[in-house]
Structure 1
Amino acid sequence: MPALSRACRSFGVAVALLSGPALAQPVAPAPPLAPLAYHELAPSAVQPTGWLRTQLGIMRDHSTGHLDETYPKLRDKNGWLGGSGDGWEETPYWLDGALPLAHLLQDKPLLAKVQRYVDWSLANQRPSGYFGPLTKAERQAGHRLDVQSTQGEDWWPRMIMLKVLQQHYQATGDPRVIPFMRQYFRYQLANLRAAPLGQWSEWSTVRGGDNLLVVYWLYRQTGEPFLRELGELLYQQTTPWTSLLGGRDWVLAAAANQTDAHWMDRHGVNVGMGLKLPVVYAQAHPEQPQLNQALRTGWRDIMTLHGLPAGMFSADEDLHGNLPTQGTELCAVVETMFSLEQAAALTGDLAYLDALERIAYNALPTQTTDDYESRQYFQVANQVQVQRGVLDFSLPFEHGMTNVFGPYAGYTCCTANMHQGWAKFATHLWYGTPALGLAALEYAPNTLTATVNGNVPVTIREETAYPFGDEINFVFDLRKPTAFPLALRVPGWCAEATVLLNGQALRTEKGGQVITLARPWRKNDRLTLRLPMAVRTSSWARNSRALERGPLVYALKIKENWQEASQAQEGRYYTLAPGSLWNYGLPRAVVQDPAGTTTVAAPPLGPTANGFYWNAAQAPVTITVSGRRLPDWQLSEGVAPQPVTPREGLYKGPVADATETLTFIPYGCTKLRVVALPVIP
């Protein structure tokens, strides 16, 4: 990314940016946006290694790298290449993950593939500023028109493509992007009153925060006053997520109301996207602390009333309470992750970073198959079978395909949108800091190449088995000794972290903070962060308990019997039946002393057949504990209803006399599981 652009984003400075070969004309001074807590790095700054490289490589070799070849909706006459096919959300959704993946892997075939869509969009902007697939009127006319106002089509898919183009610019500095966005945003300002966000669909109204995010990003590049005016208009026309999240009545009503009244405001994917609106808008209004507070309040309330052990809220499709029989849509997972990545950069709030980590390492990997070709529309927390049926969802669908694994099962939005989850998580492992340093805010194996102090190149190799292991090593490569600040997140789950430099203890720090090491760094310096992972338990619906260790939630390992089938409308799919017993309770002694009553097997991360760890067979960590069967806890209508326990938290039904050894593995490694268990005497 150009150094000038990076500095502008860090400090909210209003400047003119390169537009073609010459500097743009200076614009009138305009108020800067609030400073960012952290700024994003180029998608190509991180080179994934280890297990993360394997995960992204599988995506590249399978659906993420080839969806445009295998999925007819994208493959045939694609509207984002000028054809009469898909012109709505699914192609931009796919690009929103495929483009950063291509830059993370520096994969030339995938880079060339996504570049076609970028080039077509940039080359086919209408004189008015409108862009995207040919409208109905243009197709009838047989050529492009100067699209105005209601001659256009839904604003929503263009919002996604704007995010794609922003990432493209961050990775390449393509000089076409800034004037392209400027022209489109002038078009929006001129036309949104006559054709507001809800003109064609309510999706644009509830998701306007994604549009606003890119408007403010461009304002940090150019400082053009009209963008502030456009930002106010977009905020006014977007669903009032600030008042919904901060006002609290909404989240309470969502727990009780499953009618069609205001259902778009309860739709889990919309909620995941809408979360960021208050803090995005707060950039332009730092004098209003209630904006940032709205997200803090809303996130806490959502997770209290609708939260599930893997870090996500129920979203099947609506917010639907906290019972572990509720489902969560895959689109909601990846969109919530993106909102948390943005909220972290905007506010620096550690709670969003901890929440992001929990979702990424628990909810995300469980919902796709090892080959990244099939996925579930809805995952379930206590998922003791995967079968067709309506189950316990707020939107069950008549085909009964929302819980099975398949390329197209349920709605196909997730087929296209799931790709951004891992890709954007990888690009947000690191951020830049306002002091021209670096911040490691999420942990995974990678190599970072960036600059510090404005223009000094540095490479940092992050060697770790995290999230399975508790040690992260940073190895520095610099041409000469250089002083710069390095920020490290100490997760909230960690009681006390130890920092070592070249093997010597440097400091200890309590969990729940970001620490900064400002010092000279030298070639081959080795900084070690140790985050001891003690076993603990957490409390969930109906006084159930889950085992946790470090960033991972653990679930009872259940043998999986897979079976393939086909459905006329939704194609190939997989069901899973349990091949072992699952109806167990945890003794009260485990809740009282989890570390003393459990045994952890966490050997050094060893090789697997393909370097992949996110399945039951290759789970690298296990926890064993004693438990006893609950014979009356049985399946009912396809799910395992959570047993009721009284307020003291002990299950009162029949409990088997025999004690058995139970094996728990990371939730993200499971497809069948029980994660929230009743407590027994």
Structure 2
Amino acid sequence: MGVSFKLLALSALSLVHAQAVSLDPSIFYTVTLAKGKDAGCSPLKNMLSNQGCDQTTQDLWYTDDGTHNQRYRFVPVPGMANTFNIVTGCAQYLSCQDCGGKTTTDLYSMDDGSGRQRWVLNPVSGAANTYTIRVAGGRDASCGVYLSTSSACEDTFVDLFTKDDGSGRQQWVLNPIPVQGGSLPLEPFKYKELPLGAVKPTSDSWLMNQLQAQANGLHGHLQDFWGPIQNSKWIGGSDDYSSLGEAGSYWLNGVVPTAFQTNDQRLLGSVGSWINYILQHQGSDGWIGPDSNPRVLWGRYPALLAMMQYAQANSTATPTIVNSLQRFFVQMNNMLKNGGSGLEEWGIMRWQDASIVVQWLLENHPNGQESTYTNILNLLRYGGANWKEIFTDGNFPTVAINRVDIKAHGVNVAQAIKSEAVAYRFSHDASDLESTRNRIDLIERYHGRVSGVLAADEHLAGLHPARGSELCTVVEQLYSYEYVYSVLGDNQYADKVERLAFNALPGTLTDDMWAHQYLQQSNQPWARHMDPSVFATDGPDSNTFGLAPNYPCCAVNHGQGWPKFISHAYMTSSDTSTLYHVLLSPTTVSTSLSGSNAVTVTARTNYPFSSLIQYSTSGSKSFNFGVRVPGWSSGSVTYTVDGGSQQSGSANNAGYIVINVPAGSHTLVVNIPMNIQNVSRYNGSKAVTRGPLVYSLDVPFSTTVLNTYVFNSKDLRFDPTAPWQYALDTSSLEYSGDAVTLQQHVWSNSAAPVSISASACLVDWEEATNTADSPPNSPASCKAARQQIKLIPYGAAKLRMTEMPTL
């Protein structure tokens, strides 16, 4: 302790005559080695870098890669001239050991007063923006106190040296990164989402049955028995599965819309109690939810989305919630201005989700806070991951990475699909839209699945059909595509929503929604413990079904999938003159269009198991009604109005058949033709689709109960009871016909409403890493006589083969 105080005093004394250093603590700087690294290094790694928010080692990198690992804030230490806390992009303090032979730097969560998180900057004479950087105290100078590195190309570690030796390796150039400011008004949505509650599943439809299964299943009962929700810190309890405080926040984001769309009184009571508790226990400074030191912003983001939805659906609560959100965002603005306080690695990666709520307030309840909210939007994007840079050729991974990398984390990538669409609304920069389109192309080209989901087990996993996709990725990708469609309006993004919702989402849940997987596979011959497993950084139980296999996040987060799909099923034009059925499904909407035109539209349909949709409409005035024609549709769309003559037509440039519906009550019947298609996949294999549905070989299975909890919650293992190693004759595919009647659980392999038959035969197909190996080369050779097999919807086939070799 005496040494620390002595060095602090000497540091202050040595700066009496030093040139004053003035740095802006609200912005980031890159810190680049002045010189002294071998000029032949290729690439030249000379930029100070953090190896990740979960790592403490500092090294050198060759570029600012968009992750904030190469960005630092310099926050002045009060009362100490030219002395700064150097704070990384994920709010960690550059630090070091007291000595003990340790010459490397590290990171610490706070300034502990020792001097080892305080750094003295001395300008280098004659070199602009160039400084020596040395530890202020808490470390003996003989151990090395100057930030330094080696001259060798292969040695990129940052360490501490005893002096500035004139080589340039103890001299660092600070380059400011300015905040790119956006402005109001926000760009309008191409298609406006309606408030929660305006759209609901049509009564007695398969979609209402599905949402009621969710309400009566695992997600709707977590608050009754599972610790992180029943005893959540969000309602005064003591439980959560992580220090991020996300469990209760995640759950609320899905259960709020589920409650209002089903009108389930039990769930409405639960979410009302939660919302009231959160409002009544908001901190005096505006903080929402459980507190921690340091505070973590990310864990609040899903709860903010939940509160926004609750305010939309319950007008009585709207003023109170808006006031609560306003108080929170004032506090958040203060934190962001204070060196990005609260933005750890997850908040950095997922900044766009909080921005959505800020934009909603700006458009609907600004209450004089326009300046604060605009500042938050700018600072969140500035302090968040630069996804625009990450999603570029050369930076974005083109193969499975098989390691931990937060910018390649599947859920982060899924959420980031929408980041620049969110940013565009206040940046007004068309390149943000182009970046959105390009990133979606990159994801699908290198990590896409025919079911619509990207592959990441836990990180980007390439195209091999045995690699996994997380359930959280499914629902976050759904929401991202819904948002992207509303901003860009490209028909293909609505197609992607339907493909995900009708395949990847039900395919990773049991039909009663009491059990889910952490990871699903396109080719999934079993769901059981696999050790070693094909999954690079996820555990051996990741594809079993249960309460919380591998990690608990999907147990609480999966509930947003179906209700947000329903909320986006209908949208309006930006001027609310036209109503659009965007996501084809049995859904009902009641809303008011321009000119105070109260309209209700009910779609009765078995879609996607049928091509026929019957609409019942009512309007106080005539209105334009658009029915979206998916991009996969071939042939003419036909429709009738009030039983009149059949009309046919093609979609307009936006992908819609637009019908002018007279005032009063009317009936429309629309038929959208579907055809079987073969999709080229991994190693020459083929996948089969028809309309939005993917069809898979249904592998029959036996069930083993691994653990039993309360209610109907169990952990399950599925083992195949028949061969799965088939090759397909794609010329023999035959559709069973549209479904006329549906069972209660349409995503059950025993009650699949539609099917495709095919001629196939068994082939030699090996196993690898305890799962199916790559599909054999096509054309494959039969090892037994041909036989007829049945393909059923991917979402119904809990064990499945989707990418199959051909004959």
The TM tier, using the shorter chain, reads 0.7 to 0.9
Please give the residue correspondences for 1:630-669 in structure 2 after superposition, counting only pairs within 5 Å. 630=763, 632-645=764-777, 650-651=778-779, 654-656=781-783, 658-669=785-796
Query: Quick one: which of 249, 258, 276 aligns to 2:394?
Result: 249
The whole-number CA distance in structure 2 between the counterparts of 1:393 and 1:471 is 41
1:79 maps to 2:233: yes
Q: Which residue of 2 aligns with 1:92?
A: 249
Is 1:605 matched up with 2:740? Answer: yes
Residue 498 of structure 1 is matched in structure 2 by 638
Contact residue 406 and residue 573 of structure 1 kept, 8 A: yes
SS of the aligned residue for 2:313 comes to helix
Match of 2:403 among 259, 267, 271: 259
Residues of 2 paired with 1:34 and 1:283: CA distance? Answer: 4
Query: CA shift at 1:516, angstroms?
Result: 5.2
State which of 13, 34, 42 in structure 1 corresponds to 2:195.
42
Paired position in structure 2 for 1:670: 797
The percent of aligned pairs where both chains have the same amino acid is 29
Q: Separation in 2 of the partners of 1:205 and 1:198?
A: 9
Whole-angstrom CA distance in 2 between matches of 1:197 and 1:269: 23
Q: Give 1:639 deviation, angstroms.
A: 1.0
Counterparts of 2:646 and 2:491 in 1: how far apart (Å)? 25
Partner AA of 1:487 in structure 2: G
- In the other structure, the counterpart of 1:422 is 562
Number of residue pairs aligned between Structure 1 and Structure 2: 608
1:144-159 correspondence runs (5 A): 153-159=295-301
Tell me by how many angstroms 1:46 deviates.
2.0
Residue of structure 2 equivalent to 1:196:
340
Q: For 1:117-151, what per-residue CA distance to the aligned partner results, in whole angstroms no more than 9, with x for missing partners?
A: 11122222223222212x35xxxxxxxxxxxxxx5
Q: Residue 602 of structure 1: CA displacement?
A: 2.3
Structure 1 residues 452 and 567: alpha-carbon distance in aligned structure 2, compared to 1, 3 A threshold = closer
Distance across 2 between alignment mates of 1:576 and 1:105: 31
Q: Give the secondary structure class of the aligned counterpart of 1:312.
A: coil
Say which is worse superposed, 302-311 or 492-501, in terms of deviation. Answer: 492-501
Look up the match of 2:146: none
Contact 1:628-1:660 at 8 Å conserved across structures: yes
Match of 2:363 in 1: 220
Task: Indicate which of 89, 99, 102 corresponds to 2:259.
Answer: 102
Q: For 1:480-499, what aligned pairs fall within 5 Å after superposition?
A: 480=620, 482-496=621-635, 497-499=637-639
1:143 aligns with: none
The reply on whether 1:330 has 2:471 as its aligned counterpart is yes
Unaligned runs of 5+ in 2: 1-182
2:386 to 240, 257, 268: 240
Secondary structure of 2:257 counterpart = helix
**In structure 1, distance between residues paired with 2:703 and 2:239:** 35
Tell me the alpha carbon deviations over residues 575-625 of structure 1, each in whole angstroms, 9 at most, x when there is no partner. 1111112111123xx2xxx5xx322112443143xx221011000101111
Q: Is the 8 A contact 2:295 2:342 kept in 1?
A: no
Counterpart Cα distance in 2 of 1:581 and 1:215: 53
- Deviations 1:15-54 (CA, angstroms, capped at 9, x unpaired): xxxxxxxxxxxxxxx7311111111112211231310111
Equivalent position SS for 1:564 = strand
**2:679 corresponding residue in structure 1:** 538
Indicate which of 270, 280, 283 corresponds to 1:123. 280
CA shift for structure 1 position 658 = 1.4
Q: Does the CA contact (< 8 Å) of 1:308 and 1:323 recur in 2? A: no
Contact 1:197 1:238 in 2 (8 A): no
CA distance in 2, matches of 1:663, 1:644: 20
Alignment of 1:503-518 (within 5 A): 503=643, 504-510=645-651, 513-515=654-656, 517=658
Report what 1:349 is aligned to.
Answer: 490
- Structure number, greater radius of gyration: 2
Q: Comparing both chains, which one has the higher relative contact order based on Cα–Cα distances under 8 Å and sequence gaps of 6 or more?
A: 1
Deviation at 1:424, TM superposition (A): 1.0
1:517/1:349 CA distance change after superposition, 3 Å: same
TM-score normalised by L of structure 2: 0.73
C-alpha contact (below 8 Å) 1:495/1:510 kept by paired residues: no
Instruction: Decide which moves more: 92-101 or 657-666.
Output: 657-666
The equivalences for 1:545-560 within 5 A come to 545-560=686-701
* Length-normalised TM-score, structure 1: 0.86
- Per the alignment, do residues 195 and 412 of structure 1 end up closer, same or farther by CA in structure 2, a change over 3 Å counting? farther
Corresponding position: 1:579 with 2:733: no
How much does 1:73 deviate? 1.7
Structure-2 residue corresponding to 1:358 = 499
Does the aligned pair in 1 maintain the 2:588–2:600 contact within 8 Å?
A: yes
Q: Secondary structure at the match of 2:219?
A: helix
Out of 542, 551, 566, the position equivalent to 1:402 is: 542
Cα pair 2:775 2:803 within 8 Å, conserved: no
Q: Contact conserved, 2:736 with 2:754, CA < 8 A, in 1? A: yes
Match of 2:67? none
In 2 relative to 1, CA 583–102 (structure 1 residues): closer, same or farther, beyond 3 Å?
same
Residue 218 of structure 2 is aligned to residue 63 of structure 1: yes
Whether the aligned pair in 1 keeps the contact of 2:206 and 2:742 (CA below 8 Å) is: no
For residues 546-575 of structure 1, give each alpha carbon's deviation from its aligned partner in whole angstroms, at most 9, with x where no partner exists.
11111100001211211111399xx95211
1:373 and 2:373 correspond: no
- Using the TM superposition, name which of 633-642 and 226-235 deviates more: 633-642
The partner residue of 2:349 within 206, 211, 214 is 206
Question: Within 5 A, what are the aligned runs for 1:130-141?
Answer: 130-133=287-290, 135-136=291-292
In structure 1, the residue matched to 2:752 is 619
Quick one: distance in 1 between partners of 2:506 and 2:775?
A: 27
Unaligned regions of 5+ residues in structure 1, if any? 1-29, 137-150
Task: Indicate the structure with greater helix content.
Answer: 1
Show the 5 A alignment for 1:583-594.
Answer: 583-587=725-729, 590=730, 594=731
Aligned AA (1:483): S
In structure 2, what residue type is equivalent to 1:341?
A: E
